[in-house]
Amino acid sequence: MAAVSQVDLTGTARWKWTASVALVRTGGVAAVLAGVVMGVHEWWDDRVPGVQEGVVPSSLHATWVGLMFVGFLGLSALQRPAFGRFGRVASRLAVAGTGCLFVLALNETWNFARSHGAPQADPPLPVMVVLFVVIGCYVAGLMLFSIATIRAGVLPRAAGIFLLVSVLLKIFASGVLPGTLALMGVAFAAMGLTALRAVGSTGPSRQGEPGTVEPRAKA
């Protein structure tokens, strides 16, 4: 990936450039860590057949969802200059979905901790509605962000395709194929690694954001 030409930055623009690079790098590292924790979560759940509940699996879930939230913030910051309307909607949906799911996962973990791991009663109907809306936002955000990444051309297309395929496998084939959560973790970690590599090879744009190569399309 060839870097854009450097521009002189002073004052606010230089601060924006530094903050944007820090956010992208933090997001890239968070994405890698999220992938690792997702793999650990898969391993933990596979130890015993059936749906696993309790403090440990709930904590693992909350951890990787929170890391995904930070990861999407960084990945969105890197690709923002190449994102069109579709890309901006996709990134906001991904950030909102993971952020809201993180709050719900933390609440679930806290409830398990308070009850010493005892099974939880079914939540009331309004909470169930909110849960389904959040999960829908989360899943849609994952898929649309993958497509936006493919279209934007800032990161390799393979990274977006890998994440999209892994999400679809997790949704539709998790009961048939083993390791779908771990596969999604590998895909998200790979996207984080490509983001770290990209931000290290780009220069600042005139808006004080991480520069990008010429995008293939406005995503």
Q: What is the pLDDT along the chain (219 residues), one digit of tens a residue?
A: 434 334 444 555 555 656 789 999 999 999 999 999 999 999 988 877 655 678 889 999 999 999 999 999 999 999 999 999 999 999 999 999 999 999 999 999 998 888 776 667 677 888 899 999 999 999 999 999 999 999 999 999 999 999 999 999 999 998 888 899 999 999 999 999 999 999 876 555 545 456 544 445 456
Give me the domain span that covers residue 33.
Answer: 12-200
User: Is 213 part of any domain?
Assistant: no
Q: Are 186 and 29 in contact (CB under 8 A)?
A: no
CB within 8 Å of 178: residues ≥ 6 apart = 46
- The identity of residue 50, as a single letter, is G
User: Is 210 part of any domain?
Assistant: no
Give the count of domains, the chain. Answer: 1
User: Is 49 part of any domain?
Assistant: yes
User: Is 192 part of any domain?
Assistant: yes
User: Is 2 part of any domain?
Assistant: no
Q: What is the pLDDT of residues 4-60, one digit of tens each?
A: 334 444 555 555 656 789 999 999 999 999 999 999 999 988 877 655 678 889 999
User: Is 208 part of any domain?
Assistant: no
Strand boundaries in the chain, DSSP class E = none
Residue 72 Cα distances to 5, 12, 20, 42, 141, angstroms: 26, 24, 13, 21, 10
User: Is 211 part of any domain?
Assistant: no
Length of the chain as a residue count: 219
User: Is 5 part of any domain?
Assistant: no
b/e sequence 97-135, b meaning 16+ C-beta within 10 Å = bbbbbbebbbebbeebeeeeeeeeeeeeeeeeeeeeebe
- The identity of residue 140, as a single letter, is A
